Amino acid sequence: MPVDLNNAQPLAWDSATLDADTKAMLDNLQPNILRAHVREHLSVLFVRFNDVKEGRAFLRHVATTKMKSARKHLEEVRDFAAKGRRGTPYVGVGISKAGYRDLGHSVEDLRKFGDKVFRDGMKRRIAEVNDPPVEMWERTYQREIHAVIMIGDAEPERVAALREEILGELPESARLLGEETGQGMRNPAGDGIEHFGYVDGRSQPLFVKDEVDKEPKKHWNPAFPLSNVLVPDPFAPNPVRHHGSYLVFRKLEQNVRAFKEIERDLADNLGLAGADRDRAGAMIVGRFRDGTPLTSKAKAGGGPVSNDFTFDDDGEGTKCPFSGHIRKTNPRSFGREVLMARRGQTYGERTDQPWDDSPPETRPSGEVGLLFMAFNGSLVSQFEFTQQSWANNPDFLNPATGHDPVIGQGARDIKVTFPKVWGKPEMSTPQAQVAQTVTMRGGEYFFAPSLAYLRNL
Ligand code: HEM
Protein backbone atom coordinates (compact mmCIF):
# COMPACT_ATOMS: atom_id res chain seq x y z
CA MET A 1 0.00 0.00 0.00
CA PRO A 2 1.63 3.29 -1.05
CA VAL A 3 2.45 5.59 1.88
CA ASP A 4 -0.54 7.84 2.48
CA LEU A 5 1.07 11.23 3.02
CA ASN A 6 -2.26 12.77 3.94
CA ASN A 7 -2.99 10.39 6.79
CA ALA A 8 -3.38 12.51 9.94
CA GLN A 9 -2.55 9.58 12.26
CA PRO A 10 0.95 9.92 13.75
CA LEU A 11 3.41 7.32 12.54
CA ALA A 12 3.77 4.30 14.84
CA TRP A 13 7.18 3.71 13.26
CA ASP A 14 8.20 0.67 15.34
CA SER A 15 4.86 -1.11 15.26
CA ALA A 16 5.05 -4.76 14.18
CA THR A 17 2.16 -4.17 11.81
CA LEU A 18 3.81 -1.36 9.84
CA ASP A 19 3.32 -1.99 6.11
CA ALA A 20 6.24 -2.66 3.78
CA ASP A 21 6.00 0.63 1.87
CA THR A 22 6.13 2.73 5.03
CA LYS A 23 9.07 0.67 6.32
CA ALA A 24 10.88 1.24 3.02
CA MET A 25 10.05 4.94 3.23
CA LEU A 26 11.71 5.19 6.68
CA ASP A 27 14.74 3.19 5.54
CA ASN A 28 15.28 5.59 2.67
CA LEU A 29 14.45 8.91 4.25
CA GLN A 30 17.06 11.28 5.66
CA PRO A 31 16.93 11.92 9.42
CA ASN A 32 16.03 15.32 10.95
CA ILE A 33 12.94 15.70 8.74
CA LEU A 34 10.26 13.75 10.61
CA ARG A 35 11.91 14.29 13.96
CA ALA A 36 14.54 16.86 14.95
CA HIS A 37 18.03 15.41 15.26
CA VAL A 38 20.46 16.61 17.92
CA ARG A 39 22.58 19.33 16.32
CA GLU A 40 23.80 21.32 19.30
CA HIS A 41 26.98 21.62 17.26
CA LEU A 42 26.42 21.99 13.58
CA SER A 43 28.61 22.40 10.54
CA VAL A 44 26.96 23.52 7.30
CA LEU A 45 29.03 23.15 4.12
CA PHE A 46 28.09 24.73 0.78
CA VAL A 47 29.54 22.93 -2.21
CA ARG A 48 29.78 23.31 -5.96
CA PHE A 49 30.57 20.24 -8.07
CA ASN A 50 31.68 21.15 -11.64
CA ASP A 51 31.99 17.53 -12.84
CA VAL A 52 28.99 15.24 -13.23
CA LYS A 53 30.77 11.97 -12.55
CA GLU A 54 32.84 13.18 -9.63
CA GLY A 55 29.92 15.06 -8.07
CA ARG A 56 27.76 11.95 -8.24
CA ALA A 57 30.50 9.70 -6.86
CA PHE A 58 31.09 12.08 -3.95
CA LEU A 59 27.43 12.22 -2.91
CA ARG A 60 27.06 8.46 -3.31
CA HIS A 61 30.08 7.97 -1.07
CA VAL A 62 28.78 10.37 1.61
CA ALA A 63 25.39 8.63 1.54
CA THR A 64 26.73 5.08 1.77
CA THR A 65 29.42 5.71 4.37
CA LYS A 66 28.14 8.56 6.55
CA MET A 67 24.38 8.95 6.37
CA LYS A 68 21.83 7.06 8.41
CA SER A 69 18.14 6.64 7.71
CA ALA A 70 15.19 8.22 9.49
CA ARG A 71 14.43 4.79 10.95
CA LYS A 72 17.95 4.38 12.35
CA HIS A 73 17.64 7.82 13.92
CA LEU A 74 14.31 6.94 15.54
CA GLU A 75 15.84 3.73 16.91
CA GLU A 76 18.78 5.69 18.30
CA VAL A 77 16.42 8.12 20.06
CA ARG A 78 14.54 5.18 21.59
CA ASP A 79 17.77 3.48 22.73
CA PHE A 80 19.11 6.69 24.21
CA ALA A 81 15.91 7.15 26.24
CA ALA A 82 15.88 3.52 27.41
CA LYS A 83 19.57 2.73 27.88
CA GLY A 84 21.40 6.06 27.63
CA ARG A 85 23.19 4.74 24.56
CA ARG A 86 24.63 7.63 22.55
CA GLY A 87 23.51 7.89 18.93
CA THR A 88 25.60 8.53 15.83
CA PRO A 89 26.09 12.01 14.29
CA TYR A 90 23.68 13.52 11.80
CA VAL A 91 24.75 13.96 8.20
CA GLY A 92 22.15 15.49 5.89
CA VAL A 93 22.34 16.52 2.25
CA GLY A 94 20.33 19.01 0.20
CA ILE A 95 20.70 19.63 -3.53
CA SER A 96 19.73 22.87 -5.28
CA LYS A 97 18.14 23.00 -8.72
CA ALA A 98 21.52 24.14 -10.10
CA GLY A 99 23.05 21.16 -8.33
CA TYR A 100 20.66 18.71 -9.96
CA ARG A 101 21.55 20.22 -13.32
CA ASP A 102 25.24 19.85 -12.57
CA LEU A 103 24.65 16.22 -11.61
CA GLY A 104 23.35 15.58 -15.09
CA HIS A 105 19.58 16.09 -14.81
CA SER A 106 18.06 17.96 -17.73
CA VAL A 107 15.89 21.06 -17.39
CA GLU A 108 13.10 18.88 -18.76
CA ASP A 109 13.71 16.36 -15.98
CA LEU A 110 13.68 19.08 -13.33
CA ARG A 111 10.03 19.77 -14.12
CA LYS A 112 9.33 16.61 -12.15
CA PHE A 113 9.82 18.77 -9.08
CA GLY A 114 6.33 20.08 -8.46
CA ASP A 115 7.56 23.15 -6.58
CA LYS A 116 8.12 26.00 -9.00
CA VAL A 117 9.91 28.03 -6.36
CA PHE A 118 12.53 25.30 -5.98
CA ARG A 119 13.01 25.29 -9.75
CA ASP A 120 13.57 29.06 -9.63
CA GLY A 121 16.04 29.10 -6.72
CA MET A 122 16.07 31.72 -3.97
CA LYS A 123 17.82 34.45 -5.96
CA ARG A 124 14.88 34.68 -8.34
CA ARG A 125 12.31 34.99 -5.55
CA ILE A 126 13.56 38.21 -3.94
CA ALA A 127 10.66 40.36 -5.09
CA GLU A 128 8.07 37.93 -3.73
CA VAL A 129 9.45 37.84 -0.20
CA ASN A 130 11.07 41.30 -0.06
CA ASP A 131 14.57 39.95 0.41
CA PRO A 132 17.58 42.26 0.07
CA PRO A 133 19.15 42.36 -3.42
CA VAL A 134 21.62 39.54 -4.10
CA GLU A 135 24.53 42.05 -4.19
CA MET A 136 23.87 42.62 -0.49
CA TRP A 137 24.09 38.91 0.37
CA GLU A 138 27.27 37.40 1.73
CA ARG A 139 29.62 36.25 -0.99
CA THR A 140 29.01 32.52 -0.41
CA TYR A 141 25.32 32.89 -1.16
CA GLN A 142 25.82 35.09 -4.21
CA ARG A 143 27.48 32.15 -5.89
CA GLU A 144 25.82 29.13 -7.46
CA ILE A 145 25.52 26.61 -4.66
CA HIS A 146 24.95 23.00 -5.74
CA ALA A 147 24.64 21.21 -2.44
CA VAL A 148 24.52 21.73 1.28
CA ILE A 149 25.92 19.18 3.71
CA MET A 150 24.81 19.42 7.32
CA ILE A 151 26.77 17.68 10.08
CA GLY A 152 25.36 17.73 13.59
CA ASP A 153 25.98 16.19 16.98
CA ALA A 154 25.99 16.93 20.71
CA GLU A 155 29.80 16.84 20.75
CA PRO A 156 31.85 19.43 18.84
CA GLU A 157 34.74 16.98 18.35
CA ARG A 158 32.57 14.49 16.46
CA VAL A 159 31.31 17.25 14.16
CA ALA A 160 34.84 18.55 13.55
CA ALA A 161 36.14 15.07 12.73
CA LEU A 162 33.33 14.33 10.27
CA ARG A 163 33.68 17.76 8.66
CA GLU A 164 37.40 17.10 8.08
CA GLU A 165 36.68 13.67 6.68
CA ILE A 166 33.99 14.88 4.28
CA LEU A 167 36.06 17.84 3.10
CA GLY A 168 38.99 15.48 2.54
CA GLU A 169 36.77 13.41 0.25
CA LEU A 170 35.61 16.33 -1.90
CA PRO A 171 36.87 15.66 -5.42
CA GLU A 172 39.44 17.97 -7.04
CA SER A 173 36.79 19.35 -9.37
CA ALA A 174 34.48 20.45 -6.52
CA ARG A 175 34.74 23.62 -4.44
CA LEU A 176 33.78 24.42 -0.88
CA LEU A 177 32.07 27.79 -1.47
CA GLY A 178 31.61 28.59 2.19
CA GLU A 179 30.48 27.23 5.50
CA GLU A 180 28.57 28.09 8.64
CA THR A 181 28.97 26.92 12.19
CA GLY A 182 25.91 26.61 14.37
CA GLN A 183 25.98 26.22 18.10
CA GLY A 184 22.98 25.75 20.35
CA MET A 185 22.32 28.12 23.24
CA ARG A 186 20.30 27.27 26.35
CA ASN A 187 18.75 29.23 29.20
CA PRO A 188 19.21 28.22 32.85
CA ALA A 189 16.10 25.97 32.59
CA GLY A 190 17.89 24.03 29.83
CA ASP A 191 15.57 25.09 27.02
CA GLY A 192 17.04 25.99 23.63
CA ILE A 193 16.96 29.75 22.93
CA GLU A 194 17.64 32.13 20.07
CA HIS A 195 19.80 35.27 20.27
CA PHE A 196 17.05 37.65 21.45
CA GLY A 197 16.95 35.38 24.50
CA TYR A 198 13.61 33.61 23.85
CA VAL A 199 12.94 29.89 24.00
CA ASP A 200 12.83 28.63 20.40
CA GLY A 201 11.95 25.43 18.59
CA ARG A 202 9.15 24.51 20.99
CA SER A 203 6.21 24.53 18.61
CA GLN A 204 6.61 22.03 15.79
CA PRO A 205 4.39 19.90 13.61
CA LEU A 206 4.93 16.37 14.97
CA PHE A 207 4.79 13.24 12.83
CA VAL A 208 5.84 10.28 14.97
CA LYS A 209 3.62 8.70 17.59
CA ASP A 210 6.15 8.70 20.47
CA GLU A 211 6.46 12.49 20.23
CA VAL A 212 2.73 13.12 19.84
CA ASP A 213 1.93 10.85 22.80
CA LYS A 214 4.05 13.00 25.13
CA GLU A 215 2.17 16.22 24.37
CA PRO A 216 -0.94 17.51 26.17
CA LYS A 217 -3.65 17.97 23.52
CA LYS A 218 -6.56 19.74 25.16
CA HIS A 219 -6.51 22.78 22.88
CA TRP A 220 -3.94 22.21 20.13
CA ASN A 221 -3.38 19.06 18.12
CA PRO A 222 0.38 18.76 17.45
CA ALA A 223 0.01 15.78 15.06
CA PHE A 224 0.40 16.54 11.36
CA PRO A 225 0.21 14.46 8.19
CA LEU A 226 3.49 13.63 6.46
CA SER A 227 2.46 15.86 3.55
CA ASN A 228 3.59 18.88 5.58
CA VAL A 229 7.17 17.72 5.01
CA LEU A 230 7.35 14.87 2.50
CA VAL A 231 6.94 14.48 -1.24
CA PRO A 232 7.82 11.52 -3.45
CA ASP A 233 11.45 11.85 -4.59
CA PRO A 234 11.02 12.27 -8.36
CA PHE A 235 14.45 10.84 -9.26
CA ALA A 236 14.52 7.96 -6.80
CA PRO A 237 14.29 4.36 -8.04
CA ASN A 238 10.79 4.02 -6.57
CA PRO A 239 9.02 7.31 -5.72
CA VAL A 240 6.18 5.36 -4.10
CA ARG A 241 8.59 4.31 -1.36
CA HIS A 242 11.34 6.91 -1.59
CA HIS A 243 10.65 10.40 -0.32
CA GLY A 244 12.38 13.71 0.07
CA SER A 245 11.68 17.14 1.47
CA TYR A 246 12.18 20.73 0.31
CA LEU A 247 14.66 22.52 2.54
CA VAL A 248 14.84 26.28 2.93
CA PHE A 249 18.11 27.69 4.25
CA ARG A 250 18.42 31.37 5.24
CA LYS A 251 21.17 33.09 7.17
CA LEU A 252 19.32 35.62 9.35
CA GLU A 253 21.48 38.09 11.22
CA GLN A 254 20.04 39.49 14.44
CA ASN A 255 20.74 42.96 15.79
CA VAL A 256 20.27 42.03 19.42
CA ARG A 257 21.16 45.48 20.76
CA ALA A 258 18.46 47.15 18.63
CA PHE A 259 15.93 44.50 19.62
CA LYS A 260 16.62 45.04 23.33
CA GLU A 261 16.29 48.83 22.87
CA ILE A 262 12.95 48.24 21.17
CA GLU A 263 11.75 46.08 24.06
CA ARG A 264 12.76 48.80 26.54
CA ASP A 265 11.23 51.67 24.53
CA LEU A 266 7.98 49.79 23.92
CA ALA A 267 7.64 49.06 27.64
CA ASP A 268 8.27 52.78 28.36
CA ASN A 269 5.79 53.97 25.69
CA LEU A 270 3.05 51.71 27.01
CA GLY A 271 3.80 52.67 30.61
CA LEU A 272 4.49 49.07 31.61
CA ALA A 273 5.94 48.68 35.09
CA GLY A 274 7.63 45.95 37.13
CA ALA A 275 7.18 42.40 35.92
CA ASP A 276 4.66 43.63 33.32
CA ARG A 277 7.58 45.21 31.38
CA ASP A 278 8.43 41.74 30.06
CA ARG A 279 5.16 41.89 28.15
CA ALA A 280 6.71 44.33 25.64
CA GLY A 281 9.04 41.69 24.19
CA ALA A 282 6.39 39.03 24.61
CA MET A 283 4.02 41.04 22.40
CA ILE A 284 6.70 41.07 19.69
CA VAL A 285 7.35 37.32 19.87
CA GLY A 286 4.03 35.99 21.17
CA ARG A 287 5.75 34.14 24.02
CA PHE A 288 7.63 35.37 27.08
CA ARG A 289 11.37 34.79 27.16
CA ASP A 290 10.90 31.53 29.07
CA GLY A 291 8.52 30.31 26.37
CA THR A 292 5.24 30.92 28.20
CA PRO A 293 2.64 31.82 25.55
CA LEU A 294 1.31 35.36 25.89
CA THR A 295 -2.19 33.90 25.83
CA SER A 296 -1.32 33.13 29.48
CA LYS A 297 -0.95 36.28 31.50
CA ALA A 298 2.40 35.76 33.09
CA LYS A 299 5.30 33.41 33.34
CA ALA A 300 4.44 30.08 34.86
CA GLY A 301 6.76 29.06 37.69
CA GLY A 302 8.89 26.31 36.15
CA GLY A 303 7.49 23.28 34.37
CA PRO A 304 7.69 22.40 30.71
CA VAL A 305 7.09 25.12 28.11
CA SER A 306 3.45 24.95 27.02
CA ASN A 307 2.40 24.45 23.44
CA ASP A 308 -1.18 23.40 24.15
CA PHE A 309 -2.95 26.65 23.33
CA THR A 310 -4.80 28.54 20.60
CA PHE A 311 -5.73 32.19 20.13
CA ASP A 312 -9.45 31.38 20.12
CA ASP A 313 -10.21 33.24 23.34
CA ASP A 314 -8.24 36.26 22.13
CA GLY A 315 -10.32 37.27 19.11
CA GLU A 316 -9.51 40.95 19.59
CA GLY A 317 -5.76 40.49 19.99
CA THR A 318 -5.75 42.08 23.43
CA LYS A 319 -3.58 39.33 24.89
CA CYS A 320 -1.31 38.45 21.98
CA PRO A 321 -1.29 41.05 19.18
CA PHE A 322 -2.14 39.68 15.72
CA SER A 323 1.35 40.77 14.66
CA GLY A 324 3.13 38.68 17.33
CA HIS A 325 5.68 36.44 15.58
CA ILE A 326 4.10 33.15 16.61
CA ARG A 327 0.57 34.36 15.86
CA LYS A 328 1.62 35.49 12.39
CA THR A 329 3.53 32.31 11.59
CA ASN A 330 0.94 29.96 13.09
CA PRO A 331 -2.50 31.50 13.66
CA ARG A 332 -3.57 28.05 14.95
CA SER A 333 -7.28 28.36 14.06
CA PHE A 334 -6.44 27.86 10.36
CA GLY A 335 -3.51 27.20 8.03
CA ARG A 336 -2.24 23.92 9.51
CA GLU A 337 -1.07 22.86 6.05
CA VAL A 338 1.33 25.85 6.07
CA LEU A 339 3.39 24.74 9.08
CA MET A 340 6.99 23.68 8.34
CA ALA A 341 9.34 21.56 10.42
CA ARG A 342 11.87 24.13 11.67
CA ARG A 343 15.35 22.73 12.14
CA GLY A 344 17.48 25.88 12.44
CA GLN A 345 20.40 26.60 14.72
CA THR A 346 21.89 29.77 16.19
CA TYR A 347 25.29 31.00 15.04
CA GLY A 348 27.84 33.44 16.46
CA GLU A 349 29.76 33.64 19.71
CA ARG A 350 28.53 35.66 22.71
CA THR A 351 30.21 36.63 25.95
CA ASP A 352 26.99 38.01 27.50
CA GLN A 353 24.03 35.92 28.70
CA PRO A 354 21.22 36.26 26.12
CA TRP A 355 18.42 35.47 28.59
CA ASP A 356 19.24 37.96 31.37
CA ASP A 357 18.23 41.60 31.90
CA SER A 358 21.57 43.24 31.05
CA PRO A 359 21.24 46.64 29.36
CA PRO A 360 21.02 46.87 25.55
CA GLU A 361 24.46 48.52 25.24
CA THR A 362 26.08 45.26 26.31
CA ARG A 363 24.42 43.29 23.47
CA PRO A 364 25.86 42.42 20.05
CA SER A 365 24.54 44.44 17.12
CA GLY A 366 25.61 41.92 14.46
CA GLU A 367 27.61 38.77 13.64
CA VAL A 368 25.08 36.62 15.48
CA GLY A 369 21.80 35.16 14.33
CA LEU A 370 19.87 32.18 13.14
CA LEU A 371 20.74 29.66 10.44
CA PHE A 372 17.07 29.24 9.60
CA MET A 373 16.36 25.82 8.15
CA ALA A 374 12.99 24.23 7.61
CA PHE A 375 11.65 21.17 5.81
CA ASN A 376 8.57 21.65 3.63
CA GLY A 377 6.25 19.63 1.43
CA SER A 378 5.96 22.81 -0.66
CA LEU A 379 8.20 25.87 -0.46
CA VAL A 380 5.71 28.06 -2.26
CA SER A 381 2.77 27.27 -0.02
CA GLN A 382 4.67 26.92 3.25
CA PHE A 383 7.89 28.91 3.70
CA GLU A 384 7.19 31.54 1.05
CA PHE A 385 3.54 31.81 1.96
CA THR A 386 4.45 32.39 5.61
CA GLN A 387 7.05 35.02 4.78
CA GLN A 388 5.05 36.79 2.08
CA SER A 389 1.37 36.53 2.97
CA TRP A 390 1.63 36.45 6.73
CA ALA A 391 4.91 37.96 8.02
CA ASN A 392 5.32 40.72 5.40
CA ASN A 393 1.61 41.49 5.14
CA PRO A 394 0.62 44.49 7.31
CA ASP A 395 -3.07 43.68 6.87
CA PHE A 396 -2.78 40.07 8.05
CA LEU A 397 -6.14 39.01 9.57
CA ASN A 398 -7.19 42.63 10.18
CA PRO A 399 -6.35 46.00 8.65
CA ALA A 400 -3.27 47.66 10.20
CA THR A 401 -2.02 44.55 12.00
CA GLY A 402 1.51 45.48 10.98
CA HIS A 403 4.46 43.40 9.82
CA ASP A 404 5.77 40.48 11.82
CA PRO A 405 8.06 42.51 14.12
CA VAL A 406 10.68 39.73 14.17
CA ILE A 407 10.93 38.56 10.55
CA GLY A 408 8.72 40.93 8.52
CA GLN A 409 10.47 42.47 5.50
CA GLY A 410 9.45 45.55 3.51
CA ALA A 411 8.57 49.17 4.33
CA ARG A 412 6.78 49.43 7.67
CA ASP A 413 4.68 52.47 6.77
CA ILE A 414 1.48 51.99 8.70
CA LYS A 415 1.05 52.70 12.39
CA VAL A 416 -0.03 50.05 14.86
CA THR A 417 -1.49 49.80 18.35
CA PHE A 418 -0.69 47.54 21.29
CA PRO A 419 -2.91 46.46 24.19
CA LYS A 420 -1.84 48.53 27.20
CA VAL A 421 -3.33 46.11 29.67
CA TRP A 422 -3.25 42.34 29.10
CA GLY A 423 -6.66 41.09 27.94
CA LYS A 424 -8.34 44.52 28.13
CA PRO A 425 -9.53 46.42 25.02
CA GLU A 426 -7.55 49.49 26.08
CA MET A 427 -5.22 50.13 23.15
CA SER A 428 -2.23 52.44 22.88
CA THR A 429 -2.31 55.45 20.57
CA PRO A 430 -1.16 54.49 17.05
CA GLN A 431 2.60 54.31 16.90
CA ALA A 432 5.33 53.46 14.41
CA GLN A 433 5.97 49.75 13.98
CA VAL A 434 9.04 48.38 15.68
CA ALA A 435 12.09 48.53 13.42
CA GLN A 436 13.47 45.53 11.57
CA THR A 437 16.22 43.82 13.56
CA VAL A 438 16.61 40.63 11.51
CA THR A 439 18.46 40.86 8.20
CA MET A 440 18.65 38.15 5.60
CA ARG A 441 22.30 37.61 4.56
CA GLY A 442 21.70 34.96 1.92
CA GLY A 443 20.27 31.51 1.41
CA GLU A 444 19.06 28.90 -1.04
CA TYR A 445 16.33 26.37 -1.66
CA PHE A 446 17.33 22.72 -1.64
CA PHE A 447 15.73 19.32 -1.95
CA ALA A 448 16.79 16.72 0.62
CA PRO A 449 16.55 13.58 -1.54
CA SER A 450 15.94 10.02 -0.42
CA LEU A 451 18.94 7.89 0.51
CA ALA A 452 17.86 5.58 -2.32
CA TYR A 453 18.53 8.38 -4.83
CA LEU A 454 21.90 9.28 -3.30
CA ARG A 455 23.08 5.67 -3.07
CA ASN A 456 22.18 5.08 -6.70
CA LEU A 457 24.02 8.07 -8.11
C1 HEM B 1 8.40 30.28 16.53
C2 HEM B 1 12.14 33.35 16.87
C3 HEM B 1 12.63 33.22 12.04
C4 HEM B 1 8.53 30.72 11.71
C5 HEM B 1 9.38 31.11 17.04
C6 HEM B 1 9.62 31.36 18.45
C7 HEM B 1 10.67 32.22 18.54
C8 HEM B 1 11.09 32.51 17.20
C9 HEM B 1 11.31 32.78 19.80
C10 HEM B 1 8.82 30.78 19.62
C11 HEM B 1 9.24 29.38 19.93
C12 HEM B 1 8.30 28.32 19.41
O13 HEM B 1 7.08 28.51 19.45
O14 HEM B 1 8.80 27.29 18.97
C15 HEM B 1 12.60 33.58 15.58
C16 HEM B 1 13.74 34.40 15.25
C17 HEM B 1 13.88 34.36 13.89
C18 HEM B 1 12.82 33.51 13.37
C19 HEM B 1 14.58 35.18 16.25
C20 HEM B 1 14.91 35.01 13.00
C21 HEM B 1 16.11 35.38 13.41
C22 HEM B 1 11.53 32.59 11.53
C23 HEM B 1 11.22 32.47 10.12
C24 HEM B 1 10.04 31.79 10.03
C25 HEM B 1 9.64 31.46 11.38
C26 HEM B 1 12.08 33.01 8.97
C27 HEM B 1 9.26 31.42 8.80
C28 HEM B 1 9.15 32.15 7.73
C29 HEM B 1 8.19 30.34 12.98
C30 HEM B 1 7.12 29.41 13.27
C31 HEM B 1 7.08 29.29 14.67
C32 HEM B 1 8.13 30.15 15.19
C33 HEM B 1 6.22 28.70 12.27
C34 HEM B 1 6.14 28.42 15.47
C35 HEM B 1 4.86 29.14 15.74
C36 HEM B 1 3.89 28.23 16.45
O37 HEM B 1 3.66 27.11 15.97
O38 HEM B 1 3.34 28.64 17.47
N39 HEM B 1 10.30 31.83 16.30
N40 HEM B 1 12.08 33.07 14.43
N41 HEM B 1 10.55 31.98 12.26
N42 HEM B 1 8.78 30.75 14.14
FE43 HEM B 1 10.38 31.96 14.29
The answer to whether residue 303 scores a pLDDT higher than 90 is: no
Compute the distance between CA of residue 70 and CA of residue 65 in angstroms, rounded to an integer.
Answer: 15
Q: Identify the residue whose C-alpha is closest to ligand 1 atom 2.
A: 200
57 CA → ligand 1 middle, Å? 37
pLDDT of residue 296: 87
CB count within 10 Å of CB 11 equals 26
In 128-242, which ranges are E strands? 147-153, 175-183, 185-186, 192-193, 231-232
CB 306 within 8 A of CB 294: no
Ligand 1 proximity of 380 Cβ (cutoff 6 Å): no
204-224 pLDDT, tens digit per residue, is: 999 999 999 999 999 999 999
Residue 340 Cα to ligand 1 middle (Å): 10
Class of residue 432 by CB neighbours under 10 A (exposed 0-12, middle 13-18, buried 19+): exposed
176 Cα to the center of ligand 1, angstroms: 30
* Mean pLDDT of the region 248-274: 97
For residue 329 and ligand 1, the question of a CB distance below 6 A is answered with yes
343 Cα to the center of ligand 1, angstroms: 11
Q: Number of C-alpha atoms within 13 angstroms, CB side, residue 322? A: 19
For residue 179, what are the β-bridge partners? 45
Average pLDDT over residues 254-274: 97
The answer to whether 418 and 428 have CB atoms below 8 angstroms apart is: yes
Which residue out of 128, 372, 403, 434 has the highest number of ligand 1 atoms within 8 Å of its CB and is therefore the one to mutate? 372
Overall pTM > 0.95:
yes
Q: Report which of 41, 247, 45, 331 is spatially closest to residue 158, judged by C-alpha positions.
A: 41
State the average pLDDT over residues 336-364.
97
Distance 285 CA to ligand 1 centre (A): 8
Give Cα 28 to chain centroid, integer Å: 22
Residue 320 pLDDT level (bands cut at 50, 70, 90): very high
* Cα–ligand 1 centroid distance for 322 (angstroms): 15
Report which residue type is found at 256: V
Residue 391 CA, closest ligand 1 atom number: 28
Residue 405 and residue 284 in contact, taking contact as beta carbons nearer than 8 Å: yes
Ligand 1 centroid, distance to 200 Cα (angstroms):
7
Ligand 1 pocket: which of 129, 194, 355 to mutate (most atoms within 8 A of CB)? 194
Contacts of 346 (CB under 8 A, 6+ apart): 182, 183, 184, 185, 193, 194, 195, 368, 369, 370, 371
Helices (H), 67-147: 70-83, 97-102, 107-110, 116-120, 126-129, 139-142
pLDDT of residue 300: 58
Residue 197 has pLDDT above 70, yes or no: yes
Ligand 1, atom nearest to 369 Cα:
21
Nearest C-alpha neighbor of 328 from the set 394, 270, 267: 394
Q: Is 191 considered catalytic here?
A: no
Instruction: Identify the band that residue 299 occupies on the pLDDT scale cut at 50, 70 and 90.
Output: low
**Residue 46 main-chain phi, psi, to 5 deg:** -110, 125
Summarised one tens digit per residue, pLDDT across range 48-83 is: 999 999 999 999 999 999 999 999 999 999 999 999
Which residue has the least CA distance to atom 10 on ligand 1? Answer: 200
Using the atom order of ligand 1, give the atom closest to the CA of residue 200.
Answer: 11
User: CB of 287 closer than 6 A to ligand 1?
Assistant: yes
Choosing from 220, 325, 339 the residue with most ligand 1 atoms within 8 A of its CB, the one to mutate for a pocket test is 325
ipTM value: 0.99
Nearest-atom number in ligand 1 for the CA of 201 is 14
Give CA–CA dist 81/78, Å, rounded: 5
- Regarding the beta carbon of 387 and ligand 1, being less than 6 Å apart is answered yes
Measured CA angle at 155 (ends 252, 76), to 5 deg: 100
The confidence score (pLDDT) of residue 2 equals 82
What's the first-to-final CA gap in the chain, in angstroms?
27
Annotated catalytic residue within 79, 213, 312, 352: 213
Residue 325 Cβ inside 6 Å of ligand 1? The answer reads yes
Measured CA angle at 321 (ends 317, 325), to 5 deg = 140
Rounded to an integer, the average pLDDT of 176-185 is 98
For residue 370, give the ligand 1 atom closest to its CA.
21
